[in-house]
Structure 1
Amino acid sequence: MKLYYLALITVLLTALTGCANYKLNYAAGSEDWQSIQSADTASVTYTLYLIGDIGDRTGKYNTGMDLLARHLRGEDEKSGVIFLGNNLSTANTGSRKKVYEEKLKEQLKSVRDFPGDIFFLPGESDWSARGLEGVEWEKDLIEDYLDRDDVWMPDPGCSGPEEIELTDDLVLLLVDSEWYLRDWEGEIDINSDCDVKSRKVFRWLVNEEMKSNRHKNTVVAMHHPLASFGPHGGSHHWKEHLFPLTAVNDHLYIPLPVIGSLATFLRSSTGNRRDLAHPVYQEMVEAFMDPARQNGRYIFAGAHDQSLQYIERDSQVFIVSGGGSGRTTPVHTGKGSDFAYSRPGFSRIHFYADGSAWVEFWASEYGRDEGRLVYRKQIKGPFPERVDPPDPEYDPITPGETVRVPVSERDYERGGLWRFFFGEHYRDVYKAEVEVPLFDLERYLGGVEPIKRGGGAQTNSLRIEDEKGRQYTLRSIDKDASRTVPYPFNQNVVLDIVEDNFSASHPFGALAAAELSKVVGINHNNPKVVYLPRQAALGEYNDDYGNALYLLEERPDDEVWQDAEFFGYPEKIE
């Protein structure tokens, strides 16, 4: 009877955690993909290759990397390849370090003479062996070998997203997803030279980048996928239920049926930090999915699970392209999944002049040097004709009109004991009200146009441009300490102290500094305090920047300010 219940438990838990396999899987309705004619490749404007997990290479031939190398030979500069992390095995330390260095160089030969763009992202194995030091070592090794200094993104220890414009209508957002998932305890140098120093600011920046690129084809690439039906997505092979130790060592065939089923069930329901079920992983997923649902259709590319997958969910595209080595992990199709295959290979996306895009999945196959095309689908249609919604009505701005507003929205008021230890500062100035002019974009210098969101180390900013190409920056008065204070100090009273310390600087000190510079003959800009009301000319930036107080100042650029006396008639500005 006990054996009966044990068997029943095993069967039930196996059913609950999926039935992943090593076969070629198509969802109902996707089997006839070959009958759908793809677009003429003559109108392709860019081809993007995606491959991950090249570091776990077993066997000499028929890996996804070998297959990719053969396909890249015919490409030109209008193409690129993204390596989606886990470029090295976790064992790249000590006496094994030199071995894996040579293995990586062997892989890099495939792209050494490639004329297109090359991007490397880190994964957990690139971090896990030696932490940030190992990531920096790997970056230097790759860029030195390829003789390129623009290959590894984001910078080691930084999160991204790093925005890369491939064409006028195609943008990459490159992310170090391991940065988000890691426990930062003990990582004293993480974020040290980065603009983003907290997950909160990262989520804000992701939202800003996705919103600003919503009218383009945008590919968001990272190591950890936002959707998967492999082991990291909660789907497991029957072997893991009966022989769970094979997940650690392929040769440990020790039968532990109930224990194995319980282990896979727990991993599928709660997971570790690198499994989709884990709360931190889900938090990262939502950091991308929230703005995606609000702003259109994006292409999310990842690896992590060593398989090839195509998934659609919430009108978004998810590509898993983790077949870079000879080792694969089981997978199956699930909700929203059209295709899944546990086979070495890669994916590539053709982008067309009209804005449409098609994805292809190529798998290695013995006897076929070029591999086998196993799935193809149109994932983006032509760009729709841009029809802007009718402008909302805004209050008219009268020339010379002013408004009375508080200097800061932040409350810097503190008790006597705090003031005794940290100082009086300019607290009274920050809580005061000032009368400032309304800033009319259509009238200023004959009309200026907002062109780019900004965001320095501490402030929000908006870049505007006049008809001569000269740019100006609107910089917020209030500052955000969480952008500059690194973990773990941004989780405690240190953050409060740094935020309070902002009140030690006069909010309008830049005005005095400019006047003093002018008197003693030092080059300077000419800051003004303005209030930016919501207005038609502010367009899509109204929600984030309208109705706020800013410092307005010239943005130095020697190409357009050569006649500016206050910049010293510059031939070159550094």
Structure 2
Amino acid sequence: MLTYFLIIIPTLLFSFIAFSYWQERKYRRKAFYKLSDVGWQRFSPPADAELVHSVAMVGDPGAVATDGSDPVMQLLEVWKESAGEAGTVVFLGDIIYPIGLPAPGHRQRDTATKRLDVLLESILNFQGKGIFLSGNHDWLKGREGGYEQMLRQEHYVREKTQDENSYLPRNGCPGPVSMQLAEGLLLVVINTQWFVQRGKKPLGSKYGCPYEDIEEFFISFNSILRKNRHQRVLVAAHHPLYSNAMHGGKFTMKQHIFPLTAAHKRIYIPLPIFGSLYPFYRKMFGAYEDMSHRKYKKMRKRLLRIMNRYSNVIYVAGHDHNLQHFEIQQNHYIVSGSGSKTAFVKKGGRATFTLEELGFFVINYYNNGDVWMEALAVAEPNEEMVVFRKRLDSVLHPKQQVTADA
């Protein structure tokens, strides 16, 4: 019996680990499509449909190359040429890795400034609009001093662009801020980092925010959605509400066996069983940036409770470094966080599409009222950069009687 336990059980465990690792390797960097969307290439907007507005949602561009060779920025240039003045670029937070824009004299200041200048140049030479949001890294990864770090970055962007709407919401406030991009298409920007921030965060007239109680945010957000049931509403934020990746509690077998690679990608010290403690903790309790953390869960629950009342919402975020799409209760939830980094994303579940590749999502709005989503990925020579396309069906009326109660 002891021999059975010492030989057979470890063999079965090793076989399971090896099979799981092989399965993960098999589909890493390969697109997953829900069965009903496998033939997506056959569908496209009608030939007579005129593009009214196009929105590029670029998440987590904070590690952008500064020598002109960045593949995502090159992909963005291609999109900009086609969109022209009927286009809007939204950078979905984590604008500068690893800690946002430090004060002058800091050892990371020069690198941070160069990266931010690359992004600013991309909108300064663009006929359309450019908007920046804040992410957890821009707030010093949620630590004390994060508010001041974010304000420094916000002021830098506004000074360069000479546009008060180039960094939203203003002053690090929670939002929501709405902007009419075209007739029938409304952009709503919210600052999800505010809800999970540990240190100082602004609220009230003292900080230039429009209300004193955070409950007013949810009332205002609900009011915007209720008043705009007649049109498409694109909600831009940093934190996703659905995700098949790390911040959604999904980890690779490698992360279970070699947990120290989370600290540095080259620390391959095998720690089986013990190594699973870290992924388990992140999945069940979470760091401040994880969906499982109590603050994140509270924010997510309130936002979904409001958006579930409507069926014309497209929620786009970054945070996880991959491309994902979910269709839940007639609304659409997109993760567009691979603007400069990629990370594992699990296939299946409630997702209709997932891909671990550099790129971003584009939302195209047409004169017939259709909204089409396209996932653009960095392509090899002679390969198509559009890796997924889908018409986002939305019923432009409330699902139920809506009140102002959030």
What is the TM-score normalised by the length of structure 2? 0.86
**Which residue identity lines up with residue 296 of structure 1 in the other structure?**
S
**Which residue identity lines up with residue 37 of structure 1 in the other structure?**
S
**Which residue of 63, 72, 78 maps to 1:56?**
63
**Which residue of 187, 195, 219 maps to 2:234?**
219
The size of the alignment, in residue pairs, is: 384
Does the 8 Å CA contact 1:207/1:287 hold for their aligned counterparts? no
Taking the TM superposition and a 5 Å limit, the aligned residue runs for 1:15-94 are 21-40=28-47, 42-57=49-64, 61-91=69-99, 92-93=101-102, 94=106
**Which residue of 117, 140, 144 maps to 1:128?**
140
Measure the CA separation in 2 of the matches of 1:101 and 1:53: 16
CA 1:290–1:6 in structure 2 vs 1: closer, same or farther (change >3 Å)? farther
> Secondary structure of 1:101's match?
helix
**Which residue identity lines up with residue 73 of structure 1 in the other structure?**
E
> Secondary structure of 1:219's match?
strand
The question of 1:366 aligning with 2:366 is answered no
Measure the CA separation in 1 of the matches of 2:391 and 2:224: 25
The question of 1:99 aligning with 2:111 is answered yes
Measure the CA separation in 1 of the matches of 2:260 and 2:152: 32
Measure the CA separation in 2 of the matches of 1:179 and 1:188: 7
Shift of 1:544: 5.2
Per-residue CA deviations over 1:395-431 (Å, capped at 9, x if unaligned) read xxxxxxxxxxxxxxxxxxxxxxxxxxxxxxxxxxxxx
Does the 8 Å CA contact 2:283/2:292 hold for their aligned counterparts? yes
Aligned to 2:329: 314
Measure the CA separation in 1 of the matches of 2:154 and 2:300: 26
Percent identical among aligned pairs is: 27
Aligned to 2:280: 265
Taking the TM superposition and a 5 Å limit, the aligned residue runs for 1:30-429 are 30-40=37-47, 42-57=49-64, 61-91=69-99, 92-93=101-102, 94-128=106-140, 130-184=145-199, 187=200, 191=204, 192-325=207-340, 327-367=341-381, 372-380=385-393
- Please identify, of 371-380 and 222-231, the stretch whose mean Cα deviation from structure 2 is larger: 371-380
CA 1:240–1:195 in structure 2 vs 1: closer, same or farther (change >3 Å)? same
Q: Where has structure 1 moved over 4 Å in runs of 4 or more?
A: 9-12, 188-191
Measure the CA separation in 2 of the matches of 1:162 and 1:180: 16
Shift of 1:58: 6.1
- Please identify, of 84-93 and 140-149, the stretch whose mean Cα deviation from structure 2 is larger: 140-149
Per-residue CA deviations over 1:280-307 (Å, capped at 9, x if unaligned) read 2122122221122222231000000011
- Please identify, of 154-163 and 73-82, the stretch whose mean Cα deviation from structure 2 is larger: 73-82
Measure the CA separation in 1 of the matches of 2:231 and 2:70: 36
Does the 8 Å CA contact 1:346/1:362 hold for their aligned counterparts? yes
Shift of 1:22: 3.1
Measure the CA separation in 2 of the matches of 1:334 and 1:349: 23
Measure the CA separation in 2 of the matches of 1:217 and 1:150: 21
Does the 8 Å CA contact 1:120/1:151 hold for their aligned counterparts? yes
Measure the CA separation in 1 of the matches of 2:249 and 2:48: 37
Measure the CA separation in 1 of the matches of 2:66 and 2:342: 12
Shift of 1:83: 0.5
Measure the CA separation in 1 of the matches of 2:133 and 2:36: 34
Q: Which runs of no fewer than 5 residues in structure 2 stay unpaired?
A: none
Shift of 1:270: 2.2
What is the TM-score normalised by the length of structure 1? 0.62
**Which residue identity lines up with residue 45 of structure 1 in the other structure?**
V
Q: CA RMSD in A?
A: 2.9
**Which residue identity lines up with residue 64 of structure 1 in the other structure?**
V
Per-residue CA deviations over 1:321-368 (Å, capped at 9, x if unaligned) read 11111x201112233211111111111111122321000001002325
**Which residue identity lines up with residue 126 of structure 1 in the other structure?**
D
- Tell me: higher relative CO, structure 1 or 2? Use CA pairs within 8 A at least 6 residues apart: 2
Measure the CA separation in 2 of the matches of 1:41 and 1:173: 29
Does the 8 Å CA contact 2:231/2:312 hold for their aligned counterparts? no
Does the 8 Å CA contact 1:65/1:345 hold for their aligned counterparts? no
Q: Which of 1 and 2 has greater Rg?
A: 1
**Which residue identity lines up with residue 212 of structure 1 in the other structure?**
K
